[in-house]
Amino acid sequence: MTAQKLSLAKGLNAGLRKAMEHDPKVVLMGEDVGKLGGVFRITEGLQKDFGEDRVIDTPLAESGIVGTAIGLALRGYRPVVEIQFDGFIYPAFDQIISQVSKMHARSLGHLRLPLVIRVPFGGGIGAVEHHSESNEAYFAHTAGLRVVTCADPADAYWMIQQAVASDDPVLFYEPKRRYHERAEVELDEDAGAPLPLNSARVARAGDDLTVLTYGPMVKTCLDAAGAAQGEGKSLEVIDLRSLSPLDTETIFTSVRKTGRCVVVHEAPTFLAMGAELAAQVQRECFYSLEAPVLRVGGYNIPYPPSRFEEDFLPDLDRILDSVDQALAF
């Protein structure tokens, strides 16, 4: 029996440890990731076990962290860098967009950048601005990057290993308000990862309406589906897992079955993932749809002070309101 009950944070830690044991070229970099183990303790104990040459405390300089990681990746390493909070990634934006995403195409396929950029994201922890943002769409919009997000401890454990093993650069988004939630994780290497890195999963099967979601909103949507079940409504919840590329086969199969679709994410809805998903679903599933695709997200304003964040973030009531609108159409 190799299953253990882990938090999402411990799942990431165990996955990183496994990746470092498998490949001596895997190095971790970031602000306070060494002796402290990171603000959220995701890398706790790794510097003690693997040394200061493989778990590197960096200056407070995100552009320099990612720039150094680019050089390491070009020299055959597999760097995993931590951006301490979502809103701190912008100083590295130029490195990611102008260099990381383009290197493979620029070199006509001769160069690869096996680089992982970990980004704790989303709200719900009572933090100030720059600590609660959902900026995944900026990077999903950029060709040449993989953008993925885990939603539970099992995916945290397996997806971080898959991201490190990928020869493509990966933006790895971690739902920070789910870090301490626990579940059974199967650690058996022989069994392997339950799903490929770029696959969506049916988190809950249903017949009446499809909910497309990811990251911190998966649990909220599953709770909403449970509440809806009590009213006789059967919701199918799809955890996207990969935002770029999208697993459109799983998405379209579900929507064609249910005929209705609601997209839920924390990010503001204007030009966010929900806009792209709605466009693709309405184009590919037009003759199966019984109602317009609806979106539930953060409001189109800067992230508010922490005392207002529960009003900003989608909750059960807002999700179920949209579900009712779609079902009544």
Give tens-digit pLDDT for 128-173. 888 999 999 999 999 999 999 999 999 999 999 999 999 999 999 9
Catalytic residue chosen out of the listed positions 22, 104, 110, 131: 131
Which tens digit of pLDDT belongs to each residue from 126-139? 998 889 999 999 99
Whole-angstrom distance, CA of residue 206 vs CA of residue 193? 25
Q: Is the predicted pLDDT of residue 1 greater than 60, yes or no?
A: no
Residue 192 pLDDT level (bands cut at 50, 70, 90): confident
Kindly state the greatest CA–CA separation across the chain. Answer: 60
* Tokens 């303790």 -> residue: 41
Q: Considering only CA atoms, which of 137, 264, 146 is closest in space to residue 197?
A: 146
CATH fold of 201-328, please?
Rossmann fold (3.40.50)
CA dihedral 216, 217, 220, 225 (to 10 degrees): -140
Architecture of domain 3-186: 3-Layer(aba) Sandwich (3.40)
**Where in the chain is CATH 3.40.50.970?**
3-186
What number of residues does the chain have?
329
Mean pLDDT of the region 88-93: 97
User: Catalytic residue at 110?
Assistant: no
Residue 204 pLDDT level (bands cut at 50, 70, 90): very high
> Roughly what angle, to the nearest 10 degrees, separates helices 153-165 and 8-22?
30
Residue 188 pLDDT level (bands cut at 50, 70, 90): confident
Q: Tokens for 261, please give them.
A: 């679709």
**Where in the chain is CATH 3.40.50.920?**
201-328
Q: Across all residues in the chain, what is the average pLDDT? A: 96
> Roughly what angle, to the nearest 10 degrees, separates helices 273-284 and 248-258?
60
